[in-house]
Amino acid sequence: MLIDKTGLLLDNPSQLNYGIAVTDVDGDGAFELFVAGFGKRNLVLKWQGTGFVDIANERLADAERQAIGVAAGDLDGDGREEIYVLNTDVFAGRKQFGDRLFDWQDGAWHDLFSLPQNLDALNLTAGRSVAWIDRHGNGRYGCLVANYGGPIRLYELNSDGMLADIARDAGLAFITGGRGIVASPLVTERMDIFMANENGANFLFRNQGDGTYVDIAAIAGVSDPYEHGRGIAVLDADGDGRLDLVYGNWEGPHRLYAQYAPGKFRDLAANVMSMPSRIRTVIAADFDNDGYEEIFFNNIGQPNRLFGWRDGKWTALDIADGLEPRGLGTGAAVGDFDGDGRLELVVSHGESAAQPLSLYHAIPNHNFWLRVLPLTPQGAPARGAIVTLTANHRTQIRSIDAGSGYLCQMEPVAHFGLGQVEAIDAIEVRWLDGRITRIMTPEPNQTIRVPYPR
């Protein structure tokens, strides 16, 4: 399934790398890979026609910190995503190095946490993952941080333009062993939150419509209190039009929680998928453009795994070059950076030893595809929006990724494979405030940018 193309990473030092986020760092309309370096420089890898080169300046590289998690979202509503970099120098509790929140101002990147008015808001608790939350559906995002041994934080700008932790007001200030987060309209039409935890039950925070949340994990059947969660992905795993959850437990049984009724889940993971491993990132993506997403499990010190929907069930697939039996996987992300309509997979390594990144392409084929990029009212990627595609009497659904399944964040694009189906009936984009745009009979093999409906 996957072919090694690591040689295209022209700037690829062997170092401790962790999370990866896909965002438009240089503002040219194309997406780059922001790679968190632990005790070494962060990388910003940009496709330049013949390979990826590092374009990070010294401020973004931030080589003196210990970055593990990263995600991007539009905090201030200027149409350009800010970048939250989670630094963690201890396993749990209070840490030495604070986080970074990079904002593009006056032609340069500035760390908002370094401003005097924001110092009191600085996160000094060891964290694991970051996601961007539009809790009101207005295109303005807050940054949710899953801390370990300290309270969850949710940073938004207050009326004075200062960073404020409003997690308590939103009903989210729980103290736990937070690991992975996904934010999507899972059980409501607003942005809900699923958090996989270690040494405690998971959270499923339902958006109550007024910007506050309530945990319904136990009644939804996804609390899984005796395991240790890591990577998470959102997909429609059984084709019923509802979003489901697939996630990994560290050296415990992995889960495929299918939503059989609104807000009700059951674990459908077969033995081949649930088999325990030292799992990190989990990704759902249609690598071969056959019209069905694959599920990728990135493991550390053990072979990676790939699953596909075949003959009405999830089956282990030949991952080929992506096996990485000796890879020390710490994170992974997908995106179509070279514009050929096929997804690339980038895997980071580290933690116990320095290793370079890996890059994989799917085996070339002639399947059709379509990519959809919804935008907020301010023109930023509409992370959390829902995109559906109907073709050949079948509907596919995608949730625009807001991060951070575990340390990472995928591209903010709905990527659809179509197999040999060339005629598309329609696509529909639903924003978090309920507004909808429908586009009838779009041509395949293109990327469509969909502005917010005025």
Mind spelling out the 3-state secondary structure of 132-158? EECCCCCCCCEEEEEEEEEECEEEEEC
| Predicted structure pTM score | 0.97
pLDDT value for 313: 92
Q: Is 425 exposed, middle or buried (0-12, 13-18, 19+ CB in 10 A)?
A: middle
Three-class SS state of 322: helix
pLDDT value for 297: 98
Prior bond of 404 cis (ω within 30°): yes
CA dihedral for 245, 181, 389, 263, sign (positive or negative): positive
pLDDT, tens digit (0-9, with 9 covering 90-100), for 20-52: 999 999 999 999 999 999 999 999 999 999 999
Residue 56 structure tokens? 């990070």
Three-class SS state of 16: coil
Place of tokens 């396993």: 91
Q: Which residues of the chain have pLDDT under 70?
A: none
pLDDT value for 97: 85
